[in-house]
Every structure is written in C-alpha cells, then in structure tokens.
Amino acid sequence: MSEVLGKVCKIVRLQLGLKDSDPLGPSTTFDDVWCDSLDSIEIVMALEEEFEIEVADDEWRKVRSIADVCSIIEKWTA
C-alpha cells in the first residue's frame, strides 16, 4: 500500500495546493483538508489517469479518507 499511498498523497497535495510539510496519511479525511466537490472531481480525474483505472461514480462517493482511495485503487489494479 505504501507505493499507492505515496502516489495518492502526492496527487491530493498537488490538486489541493498543500505543502509537503502538511500532514497527510491514510487516516486523513477529505474534510480534514477542506476538499470541496470540485476538488474531489479533479482528484478523481487525476487518480484515474495516474493509475489507468475508471471507477464508477457511486463507488467514489463512498470515499471519505486517503485509505478509502488506496483500497479502491488496489482493488482495481490488483
């Protein structure tokens, strides 16, 4: 999970304009980092492009944390 986690955190930081020093880990929720619906869409698009996956909207709506994102990605790339 660490490779996926690293890529997910990098994308979230980039999309939200967070600094490398800002704490971000598996338990971080998108509410913690003030992610709004437009940010979510941009993050999803970047993740789908990075990992070459396409996940249904209803599955992405269940995502609340970085760990949730990693679980979905690992499921689709395994």
pLDDT tens for each residue of 26-61: 999 999 999 998 999 999 999 999 999 998 889 888
Write the secondary structure of the chain as one string of H (helix), E (strand) and C (coil): CHHHHHHHHHHHHHHHCCCCCCCCCCCCECCCCCCCHHHHHHHHHHHHHHHCCCCCHHHHCCCCEHHHHHHHHHHHHC
pLDDT bucket at 77, cuts 50 / 70 / 90: confident
Q: What is the pTM of this model?
A: 0.90
For the domain 2-77, what is the CATH code? 1.10.1200.10
Q: Tokens 């994308």 belong to which residue?
A: 11
Write the secondary structure of 52-69 as one string of H (helix), E (strand) and C (coil): CCCCCHHHHCCCCEHHHH
